[in-house]
Amino acid sequence: MKSTSPDRSIPHPLVLPPVTKETIQRAREGVAYARNADANEAIAEALLSAEVLAEGGSQEKITAEVRSLVLRTIIHTFFQIKVEFPEGILQTPALIAANHLNHIDPFLLLSELPANPYYHILGDARTLYNNWWKRLFLRLAKGVIPLERIWKEEIAVISGAKAGREDLAQLADDIQQYVPQGNSIETLRRLDRIVQGIFACGDGIILFPEGKLASAEGNLQLPLKRGAAIYALRSGVPIVPVALIGTKDLYLRKELTLRFGEALIFPQSHRPKPKEIQAVLDELQAALVALLPKDYHEPEEPKLLRHFLNRMFW
């Protein structure tokens, strides 16, 4: 996963996090994940498996029923789960678009979605494969399309080093050497082929259009990424908006809510124009905002196993 170029032009998001101890630590974790041989092997294997499936091949995996049962058993042991408006869940291929608060989110969705269609996670490669139990489970379960991309904390460190922070220079060099940026035309086309192939074979996709974790409950990170709109328009599948509530801060027996919205259906467009893409994003944004709580308050109750559960899925 090393870059062959000594320096890369990093596209800065509109807002970067301040370069705090937490930001630097997260960037260091990211580099460590990017250099982890087991994680790199699992990511490459998952991409190849998804590509084979999208091209009409088959893959050995545990059934969706078993996958759901395992995840439900684990998650329901630690948390109270509430599903609102489950009638919004479709029995046909769909793109599940949810807000993103915590790394438990994709596993929570998989635990509550029906077995048919089989849903694949389109998500950040390093956070999906950053520890041994995730790699073991996802290798058995399959159903992952890993996105290899640079994190906002890493971009902040690179920016700080370029601004003269000598203490960040080595970390910035490591980020540029080991962390894949993931926005090349070849990479994006490969992902599109995989997604379209998965929809064509009757499966569904879960993705998080914010592209990063939100800073607080009920707070949608804008603007939404274009991928959700492009994939839905090119395939003609509906988008099902889902609000995840309560997952930002985890602790024992906390109530976590999945609130499903009505499916958003758009005319298929093999080569969607920018105006079409923006119209879909606007409608998706409005649907997610309507589903999210307006005045969320954390419950005032004992927060047992808080550190353990928040780190468990990190």
Q: Is 52 helix (H, G, I), strand (E, B) or coil?
A: helix
Look at residue 4 in the predicted model and tell me its pLDDT: 36
**Cut 0.75: pTM above it:** yes
**What's the rounded Cα separation, in Å, for the pair 267 and 289?**
23
CA-based max dimension of the chain = 55
Residue 15: band (very low, low, confident or very high) from pLDDT cuts 50, 70, 90? confident
- Select from 285, 272, 206, 281 the least CA-distant residue to 236: 272
Name which of 138-142, 154-158, 270-274 the model is least confident about.
Answer: 138-142
Inter-axis angle of helices 185-200 and 227-235, to 10 degrees? 50
Q: What is the share, in percent, of the chain residues with pLDDT greater than 90?
A: 85
Residue 9: band (very low, low, confident or very high) from pLDDT cuts 50, 70, 90? very low
- C-alpha distances (whole Å) from 243 to each of 33, 198, 232, 288 are 29, 24, 19, 6
Name which of 15-19, 113-117, 228-232, 295-299 the model is least confident about.
Answer: 15-19
- C-alpha of 108 from chain center: 12
Look at residue 6 in the predicted model and tell me its pLDDT: 36
Strand order in the sheet with 119-124: 80-84, 255-260, 239-245, 95-98, 204-207, 119-124, 144-147
Look at residue 182 in the predicted model and tell me its pLDDT: 82
Residue 126: band (very low, low, confident or very high) from pLDDT cuts 50, 70, 90? very high
Contact (Cβ atoms closer than 8 angstroms) between residue 182 and residue 148: yes
Mean pLDDT value across residues 270-290 = 97
Look at residue 12 in the predicted model and tell me its pLDDT: 40
**Which pLDDT tens digit goes with each residue over 36-83?**
999 999 999 999 999 999 898 887 888 999 999 999 999 999 999 999
Look at residue 183 in the predicted model and tell me its pLDDT: 79
Look at residue 293 in the predicted model and tell me its pLDDT: 97
Look at residue 309 in the predicted model and tell me its pLDDT: 96
pLDDT exceeds 60 at position 174: yes
Look at residue 314 in the predicted model and tell me its pLDDT: 83
Domain extents for the chain? 21-312
| Mean pLDDT for the chain overall | 92
Tell me which of 3.40.1130, 1.20.950, 1.20.120, 3.10.450 is the CATH number of domain 21-312: 3.40.1130
Q: Is 259 helix (H, G, I), strand (E, B) or coil?
A: strand
Look at residue 291 in the predicted model and tell me its pLDDT: 98
Mean pLDDT value across residues 273-293 = 98
Look at residue 107 in the predicted model and tell me its pLDDT: 96
Look at residue 274 in the predicted model and tell me its pLDDT: 97
Could you tell me which residue, 223 or 9, shows the higher pLDDT?
Answer: 223
